[in-house]
Amino acid sequence: MKILYGVQGTGNGHTTRARVMARAFAQRNDVEVDYLFSGRDADKYFDMQVFADYQNRRGLTFVHRQGTIDRWQTLRSVRPVQLLKDIRALDLSPYDLVLNDFEPISAWAARRQQRPCISISHQASFTHNVPRQGDNLADRLLMKYFAPADIYLGVHWYHFGHAIMPPFVEDEYEKGDSGKDILVYLPFEAVGDIATLLDPISEVNFVCFHPDVDSAYQQGHIRWQRPCKDGFHEQLKCAAGVIANGGFELSSECLKLGKKLLLKPLHGQFEQLSNVLTLEQLGLCQSMTTLDTEAVENFLEMAPAEPIGFPSDPQILIDWLIAGQWQDTAGLCRQLWQQVDFPAPLQRRLEALTPA
């Protein structure tokens, strides 16, 4: 089987999930996968070796300013002529299947050329009745038409009684010895605003990764680092806790490692607002709506979290893709959730959230 895998490049969560899939695909001799990324400038990607000769397109992205989606600038950034040109120019004739993680060019090219397209994304979970907050008609239309597919396989921390898969989190991120440092990853906030947030808490060391940092430097009790996959995850393994936005993949890694979480969702992005709502309902995070030093101090007093045993190997999913029985999403999801190990108190909370 030959697959084109389209990946949304905005943020790092989609790329993180695609890395897990790419390593698993590389172990097979019965499937060949090409990768297409869009939504980010080519020079802003990093640690992309696993995708080999991947393609990059402009696509569609979201413009943020001071921790909030700027809807007007997002609309202004759209280049509809270039987008249509890229959709029409993408030749899918060599491929048996388009696998899609919220990437619009490959999704619309598949619809135009009548190629089967399967969406595997966190966004796809919102086609079901799952906890949500802050969505409106525009958000619902975006979820429906941004990257349309024939089959939708959502990815979430629980299935809520629907055809939703658990996240795959690699075992290379197994928990290390917890130190005292706090990892901070707030890429949508300004460096100066983060420094103002953390500066009064001088008794704690913070390690901050940020895309606006060109080279590492120390600022009192705050260490600033540029984004780097390996360095980030080494720090994550030994962190006492994590302060981040409400993205899905990093939260999933923290849940698997048993890291306590303080989340500040990106305003105007209902997915992040819904993620934080879900984790708060499950007792798995604290949150702040603004950069609040008092909220950080309260978070530091939290007890350590219990790890969740999410699966690391998506070979069951790849077997399902190759078998071609794509309408049977329920059977696939049952198999995958059997691999998940929830702490007993959390299991009881999850069952209370599941529709009858």
The whole-model pTM stands at: 0.90
Residues 124, 228, single domain; the answer is no
Query: Highest-confidence range of 91-105, 126-140, 255-269, by mean pLDDT?
Result: 91-105
Do 143 and 202 have their domain in common?
no
Q: What was the pLDDT predicted at 33?
A: 98
Shared domain for 59 and 127, answered yes or no, is yes
CATH classification of the domain holding 19: 3.40.50
pLDDT digits (tens, 9 = 90+) for 3-47: 999 999 887 789 999 999 999 999 999 999 999 999 888 888 888
Q: Does some domain include residue 305?
A: no
Query: Whole domain around residue 42: which residue ranges?
Result: 2-169+311-353
pLDDT over threshold 90, residue 65:
no
The verdict on residue 258 lying in a domain is: yes
The structure tokens 């959390």 sit at 346
CA separation for the pair 181, 204 (Å, rounded): 7
pLDDT value at 159 more than 80:
yes
133 lies in the same domain as 150? yes
Give residue-wise pLDDT tens across range 186-235.
998 999 999 999 999 999 999 999 999 999 999 999 999 998 888 998 99
Give a yes or no: residue 139 inside a domain. Answer: yes
CATH code for the domain in which residue 237 is found: 3.40.50.2000
Cα–Cα distances in angstroms (integers) from residue 169 to residues 14, 74, 191, 256, in the given order? 13, 31, 29, 7
Flag whether 306 is in a domain.
Answer: no
Sheet architecture: strand order including 2-8: 55-57, 32-38, 2-8, 97-101, 117-121, 151-155, 164-165
Helix pair 329-337, 315-323: axis angle to 10 deg: 170
Our count of domains for the chain comes to: 2
